[in-house]
Structure 1
Amino acid sequence: MNLRVFRGEDPGGVLWQPRLEFWYRANKARGTLPERYRDASLLDVYDDCRASVRYFTRPLKVRHARVKERTEWLDATHQAHYYETPIGTLREVRAYDDLRLSGARSEYRVKSLDDLRILEYVLQDEEWYWDEGQYQRDLARVGDRGAPQFYPRRTPVQGLFIEHMGFEPTIYALMDNRERIEQYAALAGAADDAMYEVICRCPVPIYNLGENIDANLDPPPIWREHLLPWYRKRTEQLRSAGKFTHIHVDGAMKPILGLMQDCPWDGIEAATPEPQGDVTLEEIKEALGDLVLLDGVPAVYFLPSYPESILMECVERVVEMFHPRLVLGISDEIPPDGDIERVKKVGEMVAALG
């Protein structure tokens, strides 16, 4: 069913594909799984909710010849990660919740333009390869619950924003040292070429550009100049290799809605309508045209603060507006305090649709 949606064929029903991984891990760790799930695996929960699995494998691997990586816990909730190279060391720190399940960077690895040179060394020291053994084990584990797909790393400038440098320092660097940032982006893109060569040869049919787009960080000028050229290059490259692609847009969308069809990808993941997002379902539909919508149901509707009837009405509207170009899901994940019974009811509802 997954691939039929992307091929533009009749999927034979509505594909319900919520992401339950974080909900399951968080509730298992804090001992709050519902009684019937006490001894259940994650796949058991998916089956009980009559749901498909989206992300379950990542056999794309990287190793280094000269760079050494290590991690250490600085205290109960802060973990440092080091990249040790012959020309210097990068350190980043992530701050985690008490269960160590969710974290955010409190210290970026690139703290100055001098650190870019070390990051470039790390990228140039990479060797990408495919772990076929892991891939086959993952396929056997998940079976027919979903088509394999995963997301490579972010494109160069978006990677600086989110992973390496932070948004504000990157913006200042773009204004004050544009040539240096462009030099880095070109080198990082060349490093990505080796990664995409492996991806294009592998058997996975669907790829997500896991960019976490937010129009507040990626407004039209940034989008057009620093992001879109890379998106076009990679989607065209993947399409030539027979792959489908979609991009993860889980933040504000309104300023870039009109740009969603400027790239030859096949779908948009995690587009989030009101009241959680800043756009309506009608605006999303107009912007996507014939592109596949992955998700579409606001995650907040799975919280007890919203009536269940609003959730079910939303599901009906999303199916009516987007099916068959739809992979129905939660934009973008059910929160730990979300009601799993609602996930199951949506599964039963869409199963009844045929």
Structure 2
Amino acid sequence: MMTYRERMLATLQGKPVDCLPFVPRLDLWYKSNKLRGTLPAKYRHATLKQIIEDLDIGYHTAIPDFHVYDDSLDIVDRGLGIWRVKQIPWKAVMRNIQRNITYSGDLTTVEYITPQGTIRTKILYDDVMRNAGITLSHVAEKAIKSQDDYDAIGYIFENIEVLPNYDWLLEFKDYVGDRGIICGPANQGASPMHEILHELMAYDLFFFEVYDHPAELKRLAERMRPYYDKVLEAAAHSPLDAVMVGSNYDIQITWPEFMGEHVTPYLAAAAEKLHTAGKYLLTHTDGENKKLLPYFIEGKIDIADSICPAPLTSLTLKEVRDAFAGTGITIWGGVPSVAVLENTMTDYEFEAYMDDLFDSIGKGDHLILSIADTAPPEMKFSRLERVAKMAKEFGAVNP
């Protein structure tokens, strides 16, 4: 019998596996229910890993726990897209920048004082997020408010030293063991420009800036490029099996022309670097991917993480699989989160949906089944057990 790690690696390589791997993301579900005392009775005092082992499913590591910090500054630089989470294979150290940090309840305000101007961000992490199991804090005030902030942001990123951060990853890899592969992020954006859109600027402002100040915006992205490259370099030489480059794509925000210019070339370059280092390239495709799938193919990605099919988006799982057929791209996802909620699907509708889903996956190759984006806190637990059983009953996968 294969281990989950062996199944996942074989799936990525297009090799036969003894059963369809089911590796759902359960961290938010676990944290929320643990905090509220609503875990299933038999798991009331269990760790997440113990639950995973008892269910005999894989350990999902594609998205970090954003509250397992490696630094006393924790979320301080969250507004710049800079993390200090242990699962991230790099650490940012700021040089020649003064920071004024103010804490007010659940709100963290940070001022970055540079020779080229002052930048302010505000980060929120409150009880609503805690009760939902969310570990990702919210950027209540973005770093860039206008073109006037470009020089200061450029200066900040030019004065960041990127250091390897591998020690905890080695421990984590040992902890997960044969239950899965180890993943971790490089940057949330697939490129410097995507990083600006994703982390530094409000969406509406970004769209105006693309048309009002395109040359200045591109210059800022160029100034950020060395930082971006250093982060990818650190990730490429880390203990990770798969590196996440880029996340959260949507036809209304990352439109096709943007993907072609600012995403696909950078994914392809990252793929070359990571493949040379023996790593897989994972991108977090959560969102409406209609008309965007060709750009992931051209980007030479290995893993399309968090594929959320209809009814969450307009694309069915079969349509995504058909688009990726023959490309070597593995889908990690496939079961929409609404399917495991009683208030959106009855038991009858759930069974019918899952029957259709399994009928649509053909041989099952290049598929790591998961609940996308994540198992919600109010998930009906018996449905998780049901999907796990169906994955085993699918039988061997022979591409």
Residue 28 of structure 1 is matched in structure 2 by 34
Q: Which of 138, 153, 160 is the equivalent residue of 1:126?
A: 160
- The 5 Å alignment of 1:120-269 reads 120-153=154-187, 154=189, 155-269=191-305
Residues 297 and 314, structure 1, Cα contact 8 Å, conserved in 2: no
The alpha-carbon deviation at position 51 of structure 1 amounts to 2.0
What does residue 304 of structure 1 align with? 342
Assess, with a 3 A threshold, how the Cα gap between structure 1 residues 140 and 112 changes in structure 2: closer, same or farther. Answer: same
Q: Distance in 2 between matches of 1:172 and 1:118?
A: 20
Report the alpha carbon displacement of residue 86 of structure 1 after superposing the two structures with TM.
4.8
Provide Cα deviations, 1:280-311, integer angstroms capped at 9, x if missing partner: 22321222123211101110001012123444
How far apart are residue 312 of structure 1 and its match?
A: 4.3
Equivalent pair of 1:157/1:226 in contact (CA under 8 Å): yes
Deviations, residues 109-137 of structure 1 (Å, cap 9, x unaligned): 11122222222222122222223321221
Task: Give the aligned residue type for 1:162.
Answer: H
**1:38 corresponds to which residue?**
44
Shift of 1:177: 0.8
> Retained in 1: the 8 A contact 2:89–2:238?
no
- Aligned residues: CA RMSD: 2.3
Matched, 1:91 2:120: yes
Deviates more, 1:169-178 or 1:62-71: 62-71
- 1:67 aligns to 2:93 (yes or no): no
Q: Kindly indicate whether residue 96 of structure 2 is the aligned counterpart of residue 58 of structure 1.
A: no
The 1:69/1:25 distance shift into structure 2, 3 A limit, reads farther
What SS does the corresponding residue of 2:291 show, helix, strand or coil? Answer: helix
Q: Partner amino acid for 1:255?
A: K
d(CA) in 2 for partners of 1:85, 1:53: 43
What is the match of residue 115 of structure 1? 149
User: Following the alignment from structure 1 to structure 2, what is the Cα–Cα distance between the partners of residues 228 and 197?
Assistant: 18
Deviation of 1:317 (Å): 4.7
Deviation at 1:329, TM superposition (A): 0.4
Matched position secondary structure for 2:15: coil
CA distance in 1, matches of 2:98, 2:356: 51
Change (3 A) 1:314 1:292: farther
Mapping 1:321-332, distance limit 5 Å: 321=361, 323-332=364-373
Would the aligned equivalents of 2:117 and 2:152 in 1 still touch at CA under 8 Å?
A: yes
Query: What 5-or-longer segments of structure 2 have no aligned partner?
Result: 1-6, 65-86
Structure 1 residue runs of 5 or longer lacking an equivalent are none
How far is 1:100 from its partner? 4.0
- Which TM-score applies when normalising by structure 1? 0.91
Q: Which residue pairs with 2:79 in the alignment?
A: none
Cα gap change, 1:12 to 1:86, in 2 (>3 Å) = farther
Shift of the 80–44 alpha-carbon distance from structure 1 to 2, 3 Å rule, reads farther
Structure 1 residue matching 2:46: 3-state secondary structure: coil
CA separation in 2, counterparts of 1:270 and 1:251? 9
- How far apart, in 1, do the equivalents of 2:342 and 2:147 lie? 47
Determine the C-alpha separation between the residues in 2 that align with 1:24 and 1:166. 31
Indicate how the Cα distance of structure 1 residues 11 and 119 shifts in structure 2: closer, same or farther if over 3 A, else same: farther
Contact 2:90 2:166 in 1 (8 A): no
1:34, distance to aligned residue in structure 2 (A): 2.4
Q: Within 2, Cα distance between the matches of 1:307 and 1:156?
A: 44
- Determine if contact 1:129/1:198 at 8 Å carries over to the other structure: yes
Aligned residue pairs, count? 353
2: CA distance between counterparts of 1:309 and 1:70? 56
Aligned mates of 1:308, 1:81 — CA distance in 2? 48
User: Bigger CA drift: 171-180 or 65-74?
Assistant: 65-74
On the 8 A contact 1:252/1:278 being kept in 2, the answer is: yes
Change (3 A) 1:68 1:346: farther
Q: Are 1:49 and 1:345, in contact at CA under 8 Å, matched by a contact in 2?
A: no
Q: 1:240 to 1:304 in 2, by over 3 A?
A: same
Cα pair 2:117 2:151 within 8 Å, conserved: no
Larger mean Cα displacement after TM superposition, 45-54 or 96-105: 96-105
1:313 is displaced (CA, Å) by 4.5
- Give the Cα separation in 2 of the matches to 1:314 and 1:332: 17
Q: Secondary structure at the match of 2:178?
A: coil
SS of 2:205's equivalent? helix
SS of 2:210 mapped into structure 1: helix
TM-score, normalising length: structure 2: 0.81
CA distance in 2, matches of 1:207, 1:39: 32
Task: Tell me how far apart the structure 2 counterparts of residues 233 and 347 of structure 1 sit (CA, whole Å).
Answer: 36
